[in-house]
Amino acid sequence: MPFAYPALAVHRQGIVPVRVLSRAILLLLLVLLLAPRLQAQDKPGPKRIFIVSSYDRAYIWSKSTQQGVNAAMRKYGYLTTDQQAREFLRTDRLQTDKVVLRKMWMDTKRRGGTLEMAASTTAIMQEIRKFAPDLVMLGDDNAANYIGNQLLDTKVPVVFWGINGLPLRYGLIDKLEAPGRNVTGVWQSGYHKESLDLLKRLVPKAKTFGILACDSESTRPNIKMIEQLDRRGVLPFKLVDKVVTNSYEDFQAGALALARKVDVLFVLNHDTLRDRRGRHVDMLTAGRWYLNNIKIPEASHEDQFVLEGMLLTANDSGYNQGFVAFEMAYSILEQGLNPARMAVRTPERGPYLVNRNRARALGIRLDESMYLIDEIIDKSLALKN
């Protein structure tokens, strides 16, 4: 009898291919192929979602992003009452028939040293493993970088929000349009030009501007984007200088010096400052000093700074970041979408915001400019106390 290869059989008309896999093996392969989708869509019981924020619960941006996440959870039925949303905000835990939630905070504005963030990452990863989530959500750069890279290429889907600048830099995705891994999410493209355009409409005689910021993961990409816009010549003002520091004393001296050199400022984050004794300076403390001592107009890039007391922004909304991120999480959990094939998104611009208190202090009349403004802010949190 002639020798027969495993995938071939001898027939009177010659050698022909035959099936060598049993029905059982074919069924097993089918189950393996469908397992990720079945796990995401058909796993019984409430979905388990673990959320990690880079910052702390009192930070204005963190409040805004969580409001967006909660609003999306209400929209899709994961939360059914305002009381549930308040309980989750208060306790960082919630269990309903639809979802089990757990949240932890890295607090990297105050504890941003390498060893501190490593310790935080270790502690949070231990809790994630114990929680056994169906999906993890990561808020802002440090959580995305430190926690995201621990979860990269695992079976756990990950959705981030609030990455400043292109998220490619953390190695979590291959391409914006096709992430290629188990990670996708929402990034902040920034509306810096739009903010400066609005400022130009309010102070048309101004010609030059400077950048004032702390030196953090959040500010560096924003500074680069503003500098690129300036080099392209598309901004209404000419960039003259910048002050980027984590020293509170240098921040103060630099702000005063900048205010003598330029007509307006672009004020970015100022939340990782430390005094000469190494103590963290709260953002609202730095903001209070700024508002009391700097007497030229400023633009910013997020609503939290206008709520703090800065003049205006074309809002890169934290609320929108959180809302869109949970929409993506819902698509993974309930519709079986694969994060590897879900394009990274950036939400549309939020409203044009102007702080009436700051405008009044600077002598800027808003009466004839109301058609340019979507929302007036009448609070200045940095000056509240």
Handedness of CA 50, 55, 60, 61 (dihedral sign): negative
Indicate whether 337 and 216 sit together in one domain: no
Q: Number of folded domains in the chain?
A: 2
% of the chain exceeding 70 in pLDDT: 89
Indicate whether 52 and 172 sit together in one domain: yes
Higher pLDDT, 36 or 236: 236
Indicate whether 218 and 133 sit together in one domain: no
- The pLDDT value given to residue 15: 39
Is the pLDDT confidence value at 37 over 60? no
- The pLDDT value given to residue 9: 37
Average pLDDT, stretch 55-72? 93
Residue 378 lies in a domain: yes
Is the pLDDT confidence value at 209 over 80? yes
- The pLDDT value given to residue 112: 85
Residue 26 lies in a domain: no
Higher pLDDT, 28 or 174: 174
Residue 56 lies in a domain: yes
Q: What is the pLDDT of residues 307-324, one digit of tens each?
A: 999 999 999 999 999 999
- The 10 Å Cβ neighbour count of residue 241 is 14
Is the pLDDT confidence value at 31 over 90? no
Q: Which residues touch 347 (CB under 8 Å, ≥6 apart)?
A: 186, 317, 320, 321, 323, 324
What average pLDDT is seen over the chain?
89
Angle at 27 between CA 25 and CA 28, to 5 degrees: 65
- The pLDDT value given to residue 358: 98
Confidence label for 385 from pLDDT (cuts 50, 70 and 90): low
Residue 16 lies in a domain: no
Indicate whether 310 and 322 sit together in one domain: no
Residue 4 lies in a domain: no
Residue 31 lies in a domain: no
Indicate whether 75 and 206 sit together in one domain: no
- The pLDDT value given to residue 167: 83
Is the pLDDT confidence value at 376 over 70? yes
In angstroms, the CA 293 to CA 256 distance is 8
Indicate whether 213 and 184 sit together in one domain: no
Angle between helices 192-202 and 219-232 (to 10 degrees): 70
Indicate whether 73 and 179 sit together in one domain: yes
- The pLDDT value given to residue 164: 86
Is the pLDDT confidence value at 360 over 70? yes
Confidence label for 381 from pLDDT (cuts 50, 70 and 90): very high
Indicate whether 154 and 61 sit together in one domain: yes
In angstroms, the CA 264 to CA 245 distance is 19
- The pLDDT value given to residue 74: 95
Token pair of 39, please? 């796990």
In angstroms, the CA 207 to CA 226 distance is 16
Indicate whether 72 and 150 sit together in one domain: yes
Is the pLDDT confidence value at 286 over 50? yes
Residue 224 lies in a domain: yes
Token pair of 107, please? 């607090």
Confidence label for 364 from pLDDT (cuts 50, 70 and 90): very high
Is the pLDDT confidence value at 160 over 50? yes
- The pLDDT value given to residue 114: 87
Indicate whether 201 and 260 sit together in one domain: yes
Indicate whether 251 and 374 sit together in one domain: yes
Q: What is the pLDDT of residues 113-143, one digit of tens each?
A: 889 999 999 999 999 999 999 999 999 999 9
Gyration radius from the chain CA atoms: 26
Q: What is the pLDDT of residues 184-208, one digit of tens each?
A: 999 988 899 999 999 999 999 999 9
Higher pLDDT, 31 or 233: 233
Residue 360 lies in a domain: yes
- The pLDDT value given to residue 189: 83
Structural domain including 253 reads 192-315+351-383
Is the pLDDT confidence value at 10 over 70? no
Indicate whether 61 and 185 sit together in one domain: yes
- The pLDDT value given to residue 169: 86
CATH at residue 253: 3.40.50.2300
Is the pLDDT confidence value at 7 over 50? no
What pTM does this model have? Answer: 0.80
